Structure 1
Amino acid sequence: MARVHPFTALLTPLARTLEPSGYVPRSNAVPQPSHVRPLLEAANPTAELRRQRESGTLLRDARPALYVVEVHSPAGKLGGPPVRYLLCALRPDAGTPLEDDPYRPRAWEAEPAVTLTADDHGVFRGLLAEASERSTLVWEGDYDGHRLSLRRIEPSPVSKRIQAVLDEAPMRPLSALAEGGPTLAAVVPLSDPGLEVLPIHRALKGVETFKEETFLTLVTAYARVYELDEPLDTPRGLIAARERLATLITGHHAVLLVLPGGRGRILRFRQGLDLAHLKGAPRNPTLRSLDLALLNALVLRTVLGIREPEAAGHPQVFPVQGLETLVKGVESGTFQVGFALNPPPIWEVRAVMEAQATLPPRTLRVEPLPPAGLLFLDTEA
């Protein structure tokens, strides 16, 4: 388990105070990356944060608190309520499960560690909405196409209820946590309808065992191969491929094979495959149901003979974000072939958390995200 705590925040003057008149700084107060990048790129971000605090560039909040960040959908994209993140100090207990090879931030005080929280009955989500209504507005503005608001949750019965709920809820940080100290975390409920879980695809380079015709013949032992109606190097083809991949998986698992020349195939894994005897298959039956685990075990390890395809920094297997980026990489010759995946369903992520298991490295990412720099955690308070 990990424990959520209020923390003393360091804020920029623009994001520090709401004027008595009720005026909220907007376009001229947007926390542009320019004020965060020097800190994150410094040789010692923690020391740079201390220097900015001592010089008055950053101001210390009066007392510890929790904060809620509301990220609204960009105009024209489904709309709906904002995604709410709880900004807090997160301290892991012994045995807190982390994902394999998690992202390691340059500064645990500045980059919020996105933390997924099981919230099957929407209790945490409801508490965040209640806290948002009763909290103090600190900053509001537009950032990267999203409308953002930062609110301070004063110490209150609501803040205590939030902490009590999170003390019992399964939580999964997607980033490494600071050792021996608190980490600035952005906790979000899996039940939030605006949260989008996106897959991280795989691309191959320098794999001598990949010969297209031979591969398509061998892979039929594990998957049925489907042709695509449209080329992948057109917007219409990309949309059709996404829809086809998403609708072929009823009762099955599937991946999209991306080939040069805008060509592609969908590989739908056969039902009833005995994965337990495969050396590369996860021992945990919950993990064996993941598309990425099937890709690693059946296609990359068994058919292509790639060793440890899930290892960090693999010389032949590369994680790629975005189907368009994957297709362009194959088209340009940066990669020889790619495999695109469906996003893992929320229930699968929830099942992995409940089983105290870890997802394969670089399985997913979530959007929208709160940016670094809205506030910082003062570890010396």
Structure 2
Amino acid sequence: MAKIAPFRALRYNAEKIADLNNVMAPPYDVISPALQGELYQRDPHNVVRLILGKTDEKDTEADNRYTRAAQDFSQWRQEEVLTRDAEPSIYLYDQEYPLENGEVVVRQGFMALTRIEDFSSGMVKPHEKTLSGPKTDRLNLTRACGANFSPIFSIYSDPCCALESLSRKERERAPDVAVTDDDGVKHRLWQLSDPDQIAKIRSLIDNKPLFIADGHHRYETAINYRNEMREKHPDYSGKELFNYVLMYFSNMDDKGMLIFPTHRLVHGLQSFNLPELLDGLKTYFEVEAADFNPLDTTERRRVRERLQEKGKQAHALALFSGGGKVYYLTLRDESIMDEFFDEKSPKALRTLDVSILHRLIFEKLLGIDPEAQEKQTNLKYVKNFDEPFESVVSGEFQAAFLMNPPRMSEVRDVANAGEKMPQKSTYFYPKLLTGLVINPIEEDETITE
């Protein structure tokens, strides 16, 4: 199944960088223009200049965000701001973060290279659709720089947590890198170069399928880049670095592996009418109205808790459209969803909460077609539980739909069935930090067995 390999990472040189916190960044696709500017100011060597450089109206084919990233990348290596580890290694990577109830949890994982597999092989399984724009963007960056700057986030199943037990002793020593991001998440990295330890880790992963949790665009970009490089090198052996990609691996059965919900905000619907929507919803859902003060943080917490409780028993959503009421929507019968899917579609896909919301409510009742959903013409996706209420109260949005997160088993079952979940179905928190390790795709090097 999955084939992984150690690699010689490029890492920031602590002798050149006074504070490593100032050169790290979140993944490129969550960086707002405001944050991009802030990261630029933190340190002239912040990794944002590589993964999401600023654009300029004077950009040309010879001078643009990709060519500037390549120039910075080359210069930082020459100046030894980035230095390469001497030995092929696997990098243990833990993230410690607090939950909303105050409990502190740790998600354990590691980073290594993995052999790029076509999805048809069944060895690497996606669960989300991708868009052409981001893939073109990432491919241009990979061509220009010849490197993987951010790891793809994958999960595997190991109820025995064998790898966590195997690496426990390594994690007892002081980490090689310890930084804290803007959300207060603590990131710790250990370089593991012992060949025997690496061999044991490889043997544990080699027989497992991998599920992409985050980074679908980057993985498909890696496939496209590999294919381009194979055309340039028709005598390839399969061990060249372009046949592999940087990946983070974490156990879906670990207690620190959690999925958070992504809520939906609706705006710009000319025909939106709450009473009519509620009448339509009552055909398919048990609708329970509750008095609610959206400005009261205690009441917002109670809404979240009540939605979670309802979600344990059935498929439940919550609707807020102002007016001092919140509505809990509980699907009457799962068979209702058969109307919206081909009979060959797996039950795991038909009965996802997000499928119920997108197919039944957005498409059928509100008339937001799939194209408008994909383009986010009338939708906005938000992670924070408080933001939807504030956005509706302000009048900027017409309604908010509050979600429970999908279960890990649902993600696995949809991926195993070869299906894709609706857009923004999963939110694996915390996000992986970019800047801890970089994989240079050197054309004259091969994988170490």
Same fold (TM over 0.5): yes
Aligned length: 370
**Which 10-residue stretch deviates more, 274-283 or 40-49?**
274-283
Distance 2:89 2:200 in 1: 14
Against the structure 1 CA distance between its residues 36 and 286, is the aligned structure 2 distance closer, same or farther, given a 3 Å change threshold?
same
Deviation of 1:357 (Å): 2.9
Structure 1 partner of 2:110? 86
Does the CA-based 8 Å contact 1:138-1:151 persist in structure 2? yes
Amino acid at match of 2:47: V
Does the CA-based 8 Å contact 1:281-1:294 persist in structure 2? no
Distance 1:261 1:280 in 2: 38
TM-score by length of 1: 0.87
Distance 2:174 2:305 in 1: 43
Structure 2 partner of 1:163? 202
Query: In structure 2, the residue corresponding to 1:274 is in which secondary structure?
Result: helix
Q: Would you say 1:97 and 2:125 are equivalent positions? A: yes
Q: Would you say 1:7 and 2:7 are equivalent positions? A: yes
Amino acid at match of 1:101: T
Deviation of 1:78 (Å): 1.2
Q: Would you say 1:71 and 2:95 are equivalent positions? A: yes
Amino acid at match of 1:97: K
**Which 10-residue stretch deviates more, 211-220 or 257-266?**
257-266
Does the CA-based 8 Å contact 1:230-1:240 persist in structure 2? no
Structure 2 partner of 1:53? 77
Against the structure 1 CA distance between its residues 143 and 295, is the aligned structure 2 distance closer, same or farther, given a 3 Å change threshold?
closer
Structure 1 partner of 2:421? 359
**Which 10-residue stretch deviates more, 96-105 or 39-48?**
96-105
Q: Would you say 1:115 and 2:157 are equivalent positions? A: no
Structure 2 partner of 1:22? none
Amino acid at match of 1:9: A
Deviation of 1:136 (Å): 8.1
Does the CA-based 8 Å contact 1:101-1:312 persist in structure 2? no
Against the structure 1 CA distance between its residues 247 and 7, is the aligned structure 2 distance closer, same or farther, given a 3 Å change threshold?
same
Q: Would you say 1:149 and 2:173 are equivalent positions? A: no
Deviation of 1:346 (Å): 2.0
Query: In structure 2, the residue corresponding to 1:86 is in which secondary structure?
Result: strand
Deviation of 1:268 (Å): 0.7
Deviation of 1:336 (Å): 1.3
Structure 2 partner of 1:21? none
Unaligned stretches of 5+ in structure 1? Answer: 17-24
CA deviation map 1:167-212 (0-9, x unaligned): 2223122212123133322211111212221111211111233210
Q: Would you say 1:343 and 2:405 are equivalent positions? A: yes
Against the structure 1 CA distance between its residues 286 and 238, is the aligned structure 2 distance closer, same or farther, given a 3 Å change threshold?
same
Amino acid at match of 1:91: R
Amino acid at match of 1:167: D
TM-score by length of 2: 0.74
Q: Would you say 1:241 and 2:270 are equivalent positions? A: no
Deviation of 1:280 (Å): 8.3
Deviation of 1:272 (Å): 4.5
Structure 2 partner of 1:232? 294
Against the structure 1 CA distance between its residues 307 and 6, is the aligned structure 2 distance closer, same or farther, given a 3 Å change threshold?
same
Against the structure 1 CA distance between its residues 310 and 10, is the aligned structure 2 distance closer, same or farther, given a 3 Å change threshold?
farther
Unaligned stretches of 5+ in structure 2? Answer: 25-41, 54-64, 227-241
Would you tell me which structure has more helix in proportion to its own residues?
2
Does the CA-based 8 Å contact 2:2-2:207 persist in structure 1? no
| Structure 1 consecutive aligned stretches of length 4 or more whose deviation exceeds 4 Å | 102-108, 279-282
Picking from 214, 219, 232, the partner of 2:281 is 219
**Which 10-residue stretch deviates more, 117-126 or 222-231?**
117-126
Against the structure 1 CA distance between its residues 327 and 280, is the aligned structure 2 distance closer, same or farther, given a 3 Å change threshold?
farther
CA deviation map 1:45-76 (0-9, x unaligned): 45532332123221111022110112223499
Against the structure 1 CA distance between its residues 198 and 250, is the aligned structure 2 distance closer, same or farther, given a 3 Å change threshold?
closer
Distance 1:189 1:310 in 2: 35
CA RMSD after TM alignment: 2.8
Deviation of 1:8 (Å): 1.7
Query: In structure 2, the residue corresponding to 1:343 is in which secondary structure?
Result: coil
Distance 2:278 2:107 in 1: 42
Distance 2:160 2:340 in 1: 37
Deviation of 1:79 (Å): 2.8
Deviation of 1:153 (Å): 1.3
Against the structure 1 CA distance between its residues 358 and 337, is the aligned structure 2 distance closer, same or farther, given a 3 Å change threshold?
same
**Which 10-residue stretch deviates more, 100-109 or 65-74?**
100-109
Structure 1 partner of 2:171? 132
Against the structure 1 CA distance between its residues 283 and 49, is the aligned structure 2 distance closer, same or farther, given a 3 Å change threshold?
same
Identical residues among aligned pairs (%): 22
Distance 1:4 1:101 in 2: 24
